[in-house]
Copies of this chain bind each other. A is one copy, B any other.
Amino acid sequence: MWLRISCDLTFDIEVTTPFILMLRPRSGLQQWVASDEFKITPNISVIEFTDNYGNLCQRLVAPPGHFSICTKADIKTSELVDVGFGAAFIEIQNLPDSVLSYLLPSRYCESDRFSEMAMSITAHQSPGYDQVATIETWLRNTISYIPGSSNYPISAIEVNFKQSGVCRDLAHLGIALCRSLSIPARMVVGYLYNLEPMDMHAWFEAYVGGRWYTFDATQAGPKGGYVAIGYGHDAADVAMYNQFGPSVYPMSQVVQVELIEENL
C-alpha cells in the first residue's frame, strides 16, 4: 500500500537552540520512499548524518523566533505485517553479531530485572515468536493504552508499576520482557495508517526465526500501514528531536497519514 505521511512541527524559540532531528524516513527492507520533502523555516544551515542504527538525523541550530519543520513523504509499505507463529528462538551462538546489542538492557528497558516475570508470562510457550506474541497479548490485556497520557519516556519498570501508558511505554515493557528471555528486541518509531488518535507512533520488533518481526500491543491485532522513521534500543535512541539548552516545546505538531494511489 502507498501512504503519504507528513509531520509539521512549529516552535517559538527564545534562545539559540541546537537540535538533532530524526524525522526523515529512509528506504529499507520494509518500505520504499518514492519521494520525500524536508523543509525547515527559516532557511538555516542543516547537516545530515546517519547514526549508528542507520537512521537519518539532521543537526541544526535554531535561531530565536518562529521555527518550523515540515516533513512529507510518499512511501510503499506492507498491507499487513508478517506474522510468524512457530518461528524459532535463535540460540545466542547463532545470532548475527549485529543483533547482539539488542539483548542488552537499555535506558528504558531494564531487561536485567524482568526474568521471572517474562518466564511467568510465557510459561508453556515454545521459545521464539510464540513467546513474543504471548508478551504482546499480555501487554494488550494488562497495560492500559492511554494515548497522550505522558510527555516524557518512562522505563519498563515504571510502566509496569503504573500499569498504563502511551505506545512508547508498552513497547518499552515488551522489549524488556523479550530481552530478559534472550530474544533480541528493538524499538521502532514512525507512523501508522489509521492510528487513533493520529500521532507519531512507537512499536517494537523481536528477532526470531532469523529475522525481525513487528509487534504492537496498542492495536487489536496485526495490521499493515507502518512507516518507520527510526530504529534503536529504546526511546533514548530514537527521539523525534533532541534539543539542548532550556526546554522548548512544540507549539503545534500535526501528523497525517493518508492512503494514496500507487505513486506514479
Partner of A36, one of B35, B39, B43: B35
Do A18 and B236 form a contact, CB below 8 Å, given A103-B242, A106-B106?
no
Binary B-proximity of A1-31 (CB < 8 A = 1, otherwise 0): 0000000000000000010100000111100
- Contact at A49–B242, with CB atoms within 8 Å? no
Residues of chain B contacted by A35 (CB below 8 angstroms): 35-39
- Contact at B18–A51, with CB atoms within 8 Å? no
Do A27 and B48 form a contact, CB below 8 Å, given A34-B38, A104-B107, A106-B107?
yes
Partner of A27, one of B34, B46, B112: B46
Closest Cβ of chain B: how far from A138's Cβ, in Å? 23
Partner of A104, one of B33, B101, B236: B236
Q: Is A169 an interface residue (CB 8 A)?
A: no
Residues of chain B contacted by A28 (CB below 8 angstroms): 47-48
- Contact at A242–B91, with CB atoms within 8 Å? no
- Contact at B93–A61, with CB atoms within 8 Å? yes
Select from chain B the residue with minimum beta-carbon distance to A49.
B97
- Contact at B92–A18, with CB atoms within 8 Å? yes
Do A110 and B112 form a contact, CB below 8 Å, given A29-B47, A34-B39, A35-B37?
no
- Contact at A152–B32, with CB atoms within 8 Å? no
CA distance A18 to B20 in the complex (A): 37
Binary B-proximity of A226-264 (CB < 8 A = 1, otherwise 0): 000000000011000010110000000000000000111
CA distance A35 to B72 in the complex (A): 9
Closest Cβ of chain B: how far from A76's Cβ, in Å? 8
Select from chain B the residue with minimum beta-carbon distance to A239.
B104
Q: Is A52 an interface residue (CB 8 A)?
A: yes
CA distance A38 to B91 in the complex (A): 25
Closest Cβ of chain B: how far from A150's Cβ, in Å? 13
Closest Cβ of chain B: how far from A6's Cβ, in Å? 12
- Contact at B263–A39, with CB atoms within 8 Å? yes
CA distance A49 to B43 in the complex (A): 29
Closest Cβ of chain B: how far from A46's Cβ, in Å? 5
**Interchain Cβ contacts under 8 Å between A and B, 20 examples:** A20-B92, A27-B48, A28-B47, A29-B47, A32-B45, A34-B39, A35-B36, A35-B39, A43-B262, A43-B263, A59-B92, A60-B93, A104-B107, A104-B236, A105-B107, A106-B106, A107-B107, A107-B109, A112-B152, A112-B153
